[in-house]
């Protein structure tokens, strides 16, 4: 176990170093002059010069990278030039929002995708199957921003049930928080539900035709028990893996959905930072997200190692 862990941990350091170089290097490929953008529309030469010096833009690329990396190693991801706020503070502010949105979206996706997949597999070739497939196709092919605006027009403008956009902290007002998050979470969950439904359907179809399911049925078990207890459990393994992957993607921010619903999460933070050439924010957030991804992967490997006896031998 310890050898395995040491080996896995040892690969993390070069991976993160590579990610940091990639993030830093790719950003420099962006056209445009960060100092000019951040200097505002007046382009006062003294301001441009000040910003250039502050961001070390006059120095060679490797020198700038070392400045930044030095800060990162000390836990300082730099400061947002646009908002004049430390990047770590911005991450701390946005992370809970993104986690909540991702969690709610995944719950909605699972709640829709898995039952729809089961129904579609069990009633294969019937109207239920076609209906579930049609819903999945719709979910996959509906653009998030369009669905978001349609939901706003229906539930906020016409019916007046939900706020059109914005975010309220759950610690401030749980009710308002849920009201503001339910639509964006549904929009995100809807697309993932479609993918989960398709995977659940194919996994279930495969399991339902296997020998042990036939044996269970031959034993005279109730069909509901066969489907939910015997078949579903085995079919769930790839679905859980997929769900976890989708959750990881959601954590890096849902750009369009956050933009439409004005949810102040990672997606909005990073997009605004790219357009404003706020380098420190882009670098900090991407590096942070990559670290979370890699850490989650490591945890998954460890869990797999613990539950799978074949890996231990």
Structure tokens of 179?
A: 């009201």
- Tell me how many degrees the CA angle 110-116-121 measures, rounded to the nearest 5: 125
Count, residues near other proteins per rule CB under 8 A = 53
Region of residue 74 (left: phi > 0; alpha: psi -120 to 50; beta: else): alpha
When asked if residue 253 is in the footprint of other proteins (CB under 8 A), the reply is: no
Place of tokens 């497939």: 133
Identified binder of other proteins from the candidate list 275, 303, 306, 311, rule CB under 8 A: 275
Least spacing, CB of residue 18 vs other proteins, in Å = 27
Of residues 190 through 249, those in contact with other proteins by CB under 8 A are none
Contact stretch for other proteins (CB under 8 A) within 30-38, 122-130, 207-215, 235-243: 30-38
Contact stretch for other proteins (CB under 8 A) within 81-89, 110-118, 196-204, 238-246: 81-89
Q: Report CA dihedral (88, 92, 93, 98) to the nearest 10 degrees.
A: 120
Of residues 152 through 171, those in contact with other proteins by CB under 8 A are 152-153, 156-157, 160-167
Contact code string over 88-107 relative to other proteins, x by CB under 8 A: --x--x--------------
- Judged by CB, which is closer to other proteins: 93, or 222? 93
Least spacing, CB of residue 39 vs other proteins, in Å = 7
Estimate to the nearest angstrom the gap between the alpha carbon of 161 and the chain centroid: 27
- Judged by CB, which is closer to other proteins: 12, or 36? 36
Distance CA 143, CA 19 (A): 30
Distance CA 107, CA 82 (A): 35
| Neighbouring residues of 77: CB distance < 8 A, sequence distance ≥ 6 | 71, 86, 87, 88, 91, 280, 283, 284, 287, 288
- The footprint of other proteins (CB under 8 A) covers 30-33, 36-37, 39-47, 50-51, 54, 82-85, 90, 93, 149, 152-153, 156-157, 160-167, 175-176, 178-179, 182, 259-262, 264, 268-269, 272, 275-277
């Amino acid at each position: 176990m310890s050898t395995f862990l040491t080996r896995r941990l040892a690969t993390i350091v070069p991976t993160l170093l590579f990610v940091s170089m990639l993030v830093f290097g790719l950003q420099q490929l962006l056209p445009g002059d960060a100092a000019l953008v951040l200097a505002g529309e007046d382009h006062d030469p003294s301001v441009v010069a000040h910003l250039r010096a502050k961001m070390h833009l006059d120095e060679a690329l490797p020198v700038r990278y070392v400045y930044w990396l030095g800060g990162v190693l000390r836990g300082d991801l730099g400061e947002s030039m646009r908002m004049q706020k430390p990047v770590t503070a911005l991450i701390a502010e946005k992370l809970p929002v993104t986690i909540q949105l991702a969690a709610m979206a995944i719950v909605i996706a699972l709640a829709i995708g898995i039952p729809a997949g089961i129904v579609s597999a069990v009633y294969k070739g019937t109207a239920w199957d076609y209906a579930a497939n049609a819903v999945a196709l719709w979910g996959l092919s509906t653009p998030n921003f369009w669905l978001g605006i349609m939901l706003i027009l229906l539930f906020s403008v016409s019916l007046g049930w939900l706020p059109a956009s914005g975010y309220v902290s759950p610690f401030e007002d749980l009710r308002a928080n849920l009201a503001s998050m339910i639509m964006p979470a549904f929009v995100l969950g809807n697309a993932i539900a479609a993918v989960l439904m398709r995977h659940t359907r194919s996994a279930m179809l495969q399991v339902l035709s296997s020998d042990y399911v036939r044996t269970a049925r031959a034993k005279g078990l109730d069909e509901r028990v066969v489907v939910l207890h015997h078949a579903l459990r085995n079919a769930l393994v790839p679905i859980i893996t997929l769900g976890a992957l989708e959750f990881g993607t959601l954590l890096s921010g849902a750009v369009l959905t956050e933009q439409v619903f004005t949810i102040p999460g990672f997606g909005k933070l990073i997009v605004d930072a790219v357009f404003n050439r706020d380098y420190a924010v882009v670098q900090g957030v991407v590096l942070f997200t990559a670290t979370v991804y890699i850490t989650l992967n490591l945890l998954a490997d460890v869990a797999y190692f613990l539950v799978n006896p074949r890996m231990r031998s």
